[in-house]
Amino acid sequence: MNLSLNRRSFLTASSALVVAYAMNGPAKAQNPPGPPHKRRGVDAKQVDSYFVINADGTVTLYSGKVDLGTGHRIALPQIVADELGIEIERIAMIEGDTHLTPDQGSTSGSNGMMRGGVQTRQAAATARAALIKLGAARLGLPEADLDTAQGEVRAKNGSASVTFAALLAGGQFNLELDSKAPRRKPSEYRYVGKPVRRPDMPGKATGAHVWMHDFAVEGMLHGRSIYPPRPGARLVSVDEASIADIPGVKVVRIKDYLGVVAEREWHAEKAARQLKAQWDGGGLVTTSAQAQAYLRETGPRDTDEVAEKTGDFDAAWPQAVTKIKADYHWPMQSHASLGPSCAIADVRDGEATIWTASQGTHKFAEAFDGILQLPKGKVRQIYLDGAGCYGMNGHDDAAIDAAILSRAVGKPVRVQWSRADELAWDPKGPPQTLTIEAGLDGNQRVSTWRAHMWIPRPTPKLPNVPLVSPQLAGLPQMQGVATGSINIGAVPTYDIPHMEAVVHYVKDTPVRTSPLRAPGKLANLMAAESMMDALALGAGKDPLAFRLDHLKDPRSLDVLKKTAELHDWRPRVEPRRDGKGRGVAFTHYKGNETYVAMAVDVEVDRGTGAIRVTRVSCAHDCGQVISPDGVRAQIEGCLIQGVSRTLFEETRFDRERVTSVDWSSYRVIAFPEVPELKIALIDRPDKPPVGAGEAAIAPVAAAISNAVFDATGVRLQSAPFTPQRVRAAMAQSGTTAG
Amino acid sequence: MARYVLEVNGQAKAVEVHDPQEPLLYVLRNDLRLTGAKYGCGLGQCGACTVIIDGEAVRSCLTPISSAKGKITTIEGLGTPQKPHAVQAAFIEEQAAQCGYCTNGMVMTTAAFLDKSKSPSASDVRDALAANVCRCGTHDRVVKAALRAASAK
């Protein structure tokens, strides 16, 4: 089915609110702080926080989870349309406005559907039950004889009907979400499980869509922050004469925070580049080249922890017949958003309105209350689409920069980071290093497995990633380290009797971190799944068959078998070593979410060391599929971005600063390097939907590493797999070129 | 302050700009409110700012206003949601965007390319887009959209 949301019905429904959402149409200048609106309840437990039944027969859907380019904007209406019983064209959706939408937590960790979708479905089911109850009273019929469809409560025999609007327009449900409210059966779905076209695509293809970057408010100035040349440096002096030739620029200095505002964007940009300032001290604790040593030895030690334990590794280890041990390393990487972070803030009269591409408007509205020292609830954050962010990039930094500058000049200010700001200052995916030792028993089965991980320790109860400018300006915020759950995945879900994971925590990170898509899992699976391959070879087994032998769960087995079929996998034990290879990898994401298996083909130029990934086949089971084309798009994105992160990406830094600050020093995948993709979705309509945003990126590095082994006979254990590393690994193993 | 007359999407537009080095991108976005072209890097490395000038795909972030001569077409001039250009229609048909921030560059580069290359292969399309960066991983759909547009012509 190809349906597209009718934009007109979007805009006519509850129009005042939709303007703030600005999903489509030309950028409109607005008088801050936004259009007149009535602050709504945002309690995620209340049905009224999710829906308003409008008099014109439409429904306004409020979502605390935001699109971020994932297609959430269509998937959520698909759920609601089916559950409530209304045409999808009559649903208008508003996202991520802290005065209007339910506080459902950040949009992260692939939880948009898994939590947000499930929660919203529960709200819709509760609402439907309430509408049926109202309809029963109105029509004088028993509830059991009624159903909902096309925005009406109808008698199942067709004898009577009443519209939702007639029952409740302008009214409230006054109900808590009821987990027992009857849900639609999959057989009743009209939209869920079918590809429905994304409402934002026509605007995105024609320049009509309004991204955060395109939004403007009346009287707005343009601001830029000038970050220190070395993190932690003190601002000694500013030479304002150095920008005297640029008209209308105002310098804002608050302790070590330095910024400029100007009426004209280019003038702000030029002033930020040209302004001379003297800075003292600062720098980084280590270099990217030394990151592994920093994690293992030189960094400040925190406590060690046994993160996972099954059986008794120490007792069983001496009995292992074949033992393998290997080290693995993953570099810091950038979110590398294609558009640099951008926001508009209007801070005056003790209130703040922030237009932002944040993944967590509710969370950051609260954080901004604290940073700006405003009474609780005085900051309103309104989401607009940014460039893709894959964890937490600099959006919230740009937002606080704009707020600091707006407060200083008393006018709304728009801040847009430069490319160098983005790649240098966005919070990075953390560095990781691991050692895995594992053994086979006499039956050639894996009996013992121990992973040691050296990683930065995430700060407990840290409300949000600490932002750059409050630190510089001496404004209050909680300090700490945010990484996401990077300690998961080094112990696999295979049937292995004795396993443990030991985490050796370091107190700090060389460069500020945040969760980056599938936090930690690329590294942990690269380690675990290339160890699994090494064990398969030790056991004399085909690597795919060896995995099947160590799994019982049917959904795990299914994704691997489906991958074998997609990729036409031919069992083989010994590596080919002729420059062409294939590898397999599997994950049951976080041990309880999505099942993913993939096979890749690579070609390795043994002269130059360059790797080309030519083909990827991926089977994916994320439970019930809500929006198949959306899931497919997410998987494509995971696979391509995964190849990019595995082969090319590393944030490099010296003792002063990040040095990979443009698209040539921080290189990502280019069109000619994109492999052929084959994807199979295994739909389980009877299982809850789990995440599709990140699971499929997790095994990519592992599958490539295994394929390179097949092609060359050498194992790559340090990402990115650059030509130099490939040549060095081949030289070390005595594999000759050619 | 100097006055420049630009020929944008078939219309003459006069703008007053202080710095002759100010990039065309900033003038399009802020003075003419044509926000389809995006700032991605300011270095000509990503393609998000691409416009077509006299039939050539040009990086507007590196084009000083003082040298922005010729017939300028922006993505808004190519087509609209109601009446999309063949390339735009193909992108919509293939749902060839995630965040869509790079889409302007993909559409404009493809449009300029297809004007010269009538029946390209997938590999030709990939080469034509080799200097356009996409971070979300929509490459496969973009190539399909370009091929769809090529065959629709």
Which residue has 């490395």 as its token pair? B45
Residue A202 contacts B, CB cutoff 8 Å: yes
Residue A108: pLDDT band with limits 50, 70, 90: confident
The residues near A160 (Cβ < 8 Å, ≥ 6 apart) are A139, A141, A154
Q: What is the pLDDT of residue A397?
A: 98
Residue of A204, A247, A641 lying closest to B103 (CB–CB)? A204
Domain spanning B78-152: CATH 1.10.150.120: yes
Q: What is the pLDDT of residue A224?
A: 98
Q: What is the pLDDT of residue A111?
A: 76
d(CA A310, CA B60): 59
In 3D, which of A566, A417, A419 has the Cα closest to residue B44? A419
Amino acid sitting at position A367: A
* Long-range pairs for A190-193: beta carbons < 8 A, 24 or more residues apart: A190/A81, A190/A82, A191/A1, A191/A3, A191/A77, A191/A78, A191/A79, A191/A81, A191/A82, A191/A88, A192/A78, A192/A79, A192/A82, A192/A624, A192/A626, A192/A627, A193/A624, A193/A625, A193/A626, A193/A628, A193/A683, A193/A685
Q: What is the pLDDT of residue A11?
A: 31
Residue of A264, A663, A677 lying closest to B133 (CB–CB)? A663
Calculate mean pLDDT across residues A366-381.
Answer: 96
Say whether A633 and B127 touch across the interface (CB within 8 A). Answer: no
Shortest distance between the Cα of A267 and any Cα of chain B, in A, equals 9
The mean pLDDT of chain A is: 93
- Tokens, residue A567: 């990729």
What are the pLDDT digits (tens) for A275-285?
999 999 999 99
User: For a pLDDT cut of 70, what percent of chain A falls above it?
Assistant: 94
Query: Which residue in chain B has the smallest CA separation from A662?
Result: B41
Calculate mean pLDDT across residues A526-535.
Answer: 98
A317 in Cβ contact with A447 (< 8 Å): no
Whether residue A18 is predicted with pLDDT greater than 80 in this model: the reply is no
Whether residue A6 is predicted with pLDDT greater than 90 in this model: the reply is no
Using DSSP's 3-state secondary structure scheme, residue A433 falls into strand
Bridge partners of A500?
A309, A450
Q: What is the pLDDT of residue B88?
A: 98
Fold of the CATH domain A304-321+429-733: Aldehyde Oxidoreductase; domain 4 (3.30.365)
A645 in Cβ contact with A720 (< 8 Å): yes
Residues B91, B96, B97, CA angle at the centre, nearest 5°? 120
Phi then psi for A625, rounded to 5 degrees? -90, 120
Using DSSP's 3-state secondary structure scheme, residue B130 falls into coil
In 3D, which of A334, A357, A333 has the Cα closest to residue A345? A357
B35 in Cβ contact with A204 (< 8 Å): no
Spell out the CATH class of A213-282+341-416. alpha beta
Q: Where are the domains of chain B?
A: 2-76, 78-152
Q: What is the pLDDT of residue A735?
A: 62
Residue A479 contacts B, CB cutoff 8 Å: no
What are the pLDDT digits (tens) for A68-81?
999 999 999 999 99
What are the pLDDT digits (tens) for A668-723?
999 999 999 999 999 999 999 999 999 999 999 999 999 999 999 999 999 999 99
Residue A733: pLDDT band with limits 50, 70, 90: confident
Whether residue A31 is predicted with pLDDT greater than 90 in this model: the reply is no
| Alpha-carbon distances of A312 from A439, A480, A495, A532, rounded to whole Å | 13, 35, 14, 20
What are the pLDDT digits (tens) for B94-140?
999 999 999 999 999 999 999 999 899 999 999 999 999 999 999 99
Residue of B30, B46, B139 lying closest to A338 (CB–CB)? B46
Q: What is the pLDDT of residue A170?
A: 82
Whether residue A25 is predicted with pLDDT greater than 60 in this model: the reply is no
In chain A, which residues have their Cβ closer than 8 Å to the Cβ of B125?
A: 671
Say whether B84 and A202 touch across the interface (CB within 8 A). Answer: yes
Q: Where are the domains of chain A?
A: 7-206, 213-282+341-416, 304-321+429-733
Shortest distance between the Cα of A1 and any Cα of chain B, in A, equals 13
Say whether B43 and A662 touch across the interface (CB within 8 A). Answer: yes
Q: What is the pLDDT of residue A255?
A: 98
Using DSSP's 3-state secondary structure scheme, residue A352 falls into strand
| Alpha-carbon distances of A487 from A372, A428, A520, rounded to whole Å | 34, 16, 7
Whether residue A7 is predicted with pLDDT greater than 80 in this model: the reply is no
What single string gives the DSSP state of each residue in A202-226? HHHHHT-S--GGG-EETTPEEEEE-
d(CA A622, CA A703): 20
Calculate mean pLDDT across residues A476-495.
Answer: 95
Question: Tell me, what DSSP letter sits at residue A734?
Answer: T
d(CA A393, CA A387): 10
Q: What is the pLDDT of residue A114?
A: 81
Whether residue A17 is predicted with pLDDT greater than 50 in this model: the reply is no
The residues near B67 (Cβ < 8 Å, ≥ 6 apart) are none
In 3D, which of A531, A530, A482 has the Cα closest to residue A706? A530
In chain B, which residues have their Cβ closer than 8 Å to the Cβ of A340?
A: 39-40
- Tokens, residue A520: 């930690």
In chain A, which residues have their Cβ closer than 8 Å to the Cβ of B99?
A: 68-69, 338-339, 385-388
Calculate mean pLDDT across residues A520-537.
Answer: 98
Say whether B135 and A206 touch across the interface (CB within 8 A). Answer: no
Query: Which residue in chain B has the smallest CA separation from A636?
Result: B137
Say whether A340 and B38 touch across the interface (CB within 8 A). Answer: no
Shortest distance between the Cα of B139 and any Cα of chain A, in A, equals 6
Say whether B39 and A266 touch across the interface (CB within 8 A). Answer: no
Question: Tell me, what DSSP letter sits at residue A379?
Answer: E
Return the minimum-mean-pLDDT range out of A110-119, A401-410, A478-487: A110-119
Calculate mean pLDDT across residues A245-265.
Answer: 98
Calculate mean pLDDT across residues A26-44.
Answer: 58
Q: Give the HSE-up count for residue A135: Cα atoms under 13 Å, Cβ half-sphere.
A: 26
Calculate mean pLDDT across residues A199-211.
Answer: 97
Compute and round to an integer the Cα radius of gyration of chain B: 15
In chain A, which residues have their Cβ closer than 8 Å to the Cβ of B18?
A: 247, 264, 267
Chain A 621-680, residues with CB within 8 Å of chain B CB atoms: 629, 633, 636-641, 644, 662-664, 668-672, 674, 677
In 3D, which of A583, A615, A577 has the Cα closest to residue A597? A583
Shortest distance between the Cα of B126 and any Cα of chain A, in A, equals 5
Residue A576: pLDDT band with limits 50, 70, 90: very high
Which residue has 């077409």 as its token pair? B73
Q: How many CB atoms lie within 10 A of CB A149?
A: 15
Can you give the length of chain B in residues? Answer: 153
Q: What is the pLDDT of residue A30?
A: 32
Say whether B99 and A669 touch across the interface (CB within 8 A). Answer: no
B50 in Cβ contact with B106 (< 8 Å): no
Calculate mean pLDDT across residues A547-556.
Answer: 98
CATH classification for the domain delimited by A7-206, as one of 3.40.309.10, 2.40.160.10, 3.30.365.10, 3.40.640.10: 3.30.365.10
Shortest distance between the Cα of B150 and any Cα of chain A, in A, equals 16
Say whether A69 and B100 touch across the interface (CB within 8 A). Answer: yes
- Tokens, residue A661: 């600050």
What are the pLDDT digits (tens) for A407-450?
999 999 999 999 999 999 999 999 999 999 999 999 999 999 99
Using DSSP's 3-state secondary structure scheme, residue A671 falls into helix
Calculate mean pLDDT across residues A640-645.
Answer: 98
**Phi-psi region at B68: left, alpha or beta (left = phi > 0; alpha = psi -120 to 50):** beta
Q: What is the pLDDT of residue A109?
A: 75
Q: What is the pLDDT of residue A27?
A: 33
Residue of A385, A629, A672 lying closest to B95 (CB–CB)? A629
Say whether A70 and B48 touch across the interface (CB within 8 A). Answer: no
What are the pLDDT digits (tens) for A298-318?
999 999 999 999 999 999 999
Say whether B46 and A386 touch across the interface (CB within 8 A). Answer: no
d(CA A164, CA A161): 10
A593 in Cβ contact with A644 (< 8 Å): no
Fold of the CATH domain B2-76: Ubiquitin-like (UB roll) (3.10.20)
Question: Tell me, what DSSP letter sits at residue A688?
Answer: -
Whether residue A635 is predicted with pLDDT greater than 80 in this model: the reply is yes
- Tokens, residue A293: 């040593």
- Tokens, residue A49: 């926080």
Say whether A674 and B138 touch across the interface (CB within 8 A). Answer: no
Domains A7-206 and A213-282+341-416 share a fold: yes
Say whether A641 and B137 touch across the interface (CB within 8 A). Answer: yes
What are the pLDDT digits (tens) for B5-61?
999 999 999 999 999 999 999 999 999 999 999 999 999 999 999 999 999 999 999
Mutate to test the interface with A, among B140, B141, B148 (most CBs of A within 10 A): B140
- CA A398 centroid distance within chain: 18
| Alpha-carbon distances of A267 from A241, A405, B17, B64, B65, rounded to whole Å | 15, 16, 11, 14, 14
In chain B, which residues have their Cβ closer than 8 Å to the Cβ of A208?
A: 36, 76, 80-81
Query: Which residue in chain B has the smallest CA separation from A423?
Result: B41
Question: Tell me, what DSSP letter sits at residue B62?
Answer: G
- Tokens, residue B132: 């356009």
